[in-house]
């Protein structure tokens, strides 16, 4: 078992007004004079957790965590059907990151994240390379149409019965169909759509240790998660086809570590491989025994990369 750093509480936190009546929750922990780093959670819509703080050496890093629009402690919450999702896009999240960086008085920072957080990290770095010292990403996703299609259709070849339940009587683009269901005025329809969506997300991960299919009550977290992720994926995150990998050359001067599990059914390894080929100097680490979630090997690799970059001047 790889030991993370001990649990730690933030030394500062707040809600940052980012426009469109949105406020983003943020927190900082570790050393106020340490190397700045920002952690980007997955989903989209999962929110940050206390465990994410434990990846950072509190003596070396000034770690910044925040809940992306509509989830966690940010307001308004996407579980509320009155929350306007038009103001929740990739462009908005990138702008929020820049506003937060400026608010905290940070000149440049290390950017890290996993899964959807990888997409957001890379888009941000490609648009603001001068603000990024290093990048560490895991469970690599670039939110291409082919990746979305695999996760919500292709992976059904491994779980045909569960996928049939997920599909139900829907036809055509399932992600778009679920996005419409999550906007249904009937709360029962929204709840059942969120239940089915979360069950499928868990099913794709169910071959990995410690994963069980969600069958409990549907609360604010599940409603917000399902609404945000279907909103983003039905629009392919408002990114041009293949843009993240196409523009990876813009990262040539930024040291990068890409960490991936060979057995990741949610995000197959070909995306990580293609990204590494397009990003000059990036280091690709693939663990043959890992899937999408964290593992001792992947955690050890990330801790090593953070330790190495923590002693590097930004």
The whole-angstrom separation of Cα 146 and Cα 137 is: 20
Q: Is 115 a catalytic residue?
A: yes
Beta bridge partners of 22: 19
- Give burial (CB, 10 Å; 0-12/13-18/19+) of 312: exposed
- Residue 209 is predicted with a pLDDT of 86
Cα 216 to Cα 40, 198, 212, 219, 246: the distances in Å are 27, 11, 11, 9, 41
Catalytic: which of 264, 266, 287, 290? 264
Reduced to 3 states, what is the DSSP secondary structure of residue 70?
coil
Q: Which CATH superfamily does the domain covering 12-143+239-311 fall into?
A: Alpha/Beta hydrolase fold, catalytic domain (3.40.50.1820)
- 309-312 contacts at long range (C-beta below 8 A, 24 or more positions apart): 309/35, 309/110, 309/133, 309/134, 309/136, 309/255, 310/34, 310/35, 310/57, 310/60, 310/61, 311/60, 312/133, 312/134, 312/255
For residue 311, the model assigns a pLDDT of: 82
pLDDT of residue 212: 77
Task: Compute the radius of gyration of the chain from its Cα atoms.
Answer: 19
**pLDDT at position 193:** 97
| Residue in 115, 234, 290, 295 annotated catalytic | 115
pLDDT digit string (tens) for 54-108? 999 999 999 999 999 999 999 999 999 999 999 999 999 999 999 999 999 999 9
Active-site choice (41, 77, 92, 292) = 292
Tokens at residue 120, please? 């957001």
The predicted structure's pLDDT at residue 215: 75
Q: How far is CA 86 from the centre of its chain?
A: 20
- Which pair of structure tokens corresponds to residue 264? 């990741």
pLDDT the model gives residue 87:
96
Which of 258, 256, 267 lies closest to 291, judged by CA? 267
Q: Provide the pLDDT for residue 294.
A: 84
Alpha-carbon span 68 to 71, nearest angstrom: 6
Strand partners for 287: 261
Active site residue 290: no
Q: Where are the domains of the chain?
A: 12-143+239-311, 146-237
pLDDT on residue 210: 79
Active site includes 79? Answer: no
Residues of the chain with pLDDT under 50: none
Q: What share of the chain is helix, strand, coil (3-state, %, to 5)?
A: 40, 20, 40
Q: Which two tokens stand for residue 258?
A: 């890409």
Query: Which two tokens mark 117?
Result: 């957080």
What pLDDT score does 314 carry?
60
For position 69, what pLDDT does the model report? 98
């Amino acid at each position: 078992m790889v030991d993370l750093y001990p649990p730690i509480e933030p030394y500062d936190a707040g809600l940052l007004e980012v426009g469109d009546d949105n406020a983003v929750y943020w927190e900082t922990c570790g050393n106020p004079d340490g190397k700045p780093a920002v952690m980007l959670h997955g989903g989209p819509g999962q929110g940050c957790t206390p465990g994410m703080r434990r990846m950072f050496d509190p003596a070396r890093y000034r770690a910044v965590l925040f809940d992306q629009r509509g989830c966690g402690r940010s307001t308004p919450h996407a579980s509320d059907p009155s929350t306007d999702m038009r103001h929740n896009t990739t462009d908005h999240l990138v702008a929020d990151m820049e506003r937060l960086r400026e608010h905290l008085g940070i000149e440049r920072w290390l950017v890290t994240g996993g899964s959807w957080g990888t997409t957001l990290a890379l888009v941000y770095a490609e648009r603001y390379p001068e603000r990024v010292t290093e990048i560490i990403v895991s469970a690599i996703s670039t939110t291409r149409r082919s990746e979305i299609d695999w996760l919500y259709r292709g992976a059904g070849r491994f779980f045909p019965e569960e996928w049939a339940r997920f599909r139900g009587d829907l036809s055509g683009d399932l992600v778009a169909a679920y996005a419409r269901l999550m906007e249904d005025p009937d709360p029962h329809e929204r709840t059942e759509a969120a239940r089915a969506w979360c069950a499928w997300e868990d099913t794709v991960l169910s071959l990995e240790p410690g994963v069980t299919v969600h069958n409990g009550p549907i609360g604010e977290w599940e409603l917000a998660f399902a609404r945000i992720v279907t909103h983003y994926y039905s629009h392919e995150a408002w990114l041009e086809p293949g843009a993240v990998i196409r523009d990876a050359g813009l990262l040539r001067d930024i040291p990068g570590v890409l960490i991936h599990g060979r057995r990741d059914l949610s995000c197959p390894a070909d995306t990580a491989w293609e990204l590494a080929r397009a990003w000059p100097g990036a280091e690709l680490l693939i663990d043959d025994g890992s899937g999408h979630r964290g593992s001792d090997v992947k955690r050890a690799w990330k801790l090593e990369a953070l330790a190495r970059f923590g002693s590097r001047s930004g």
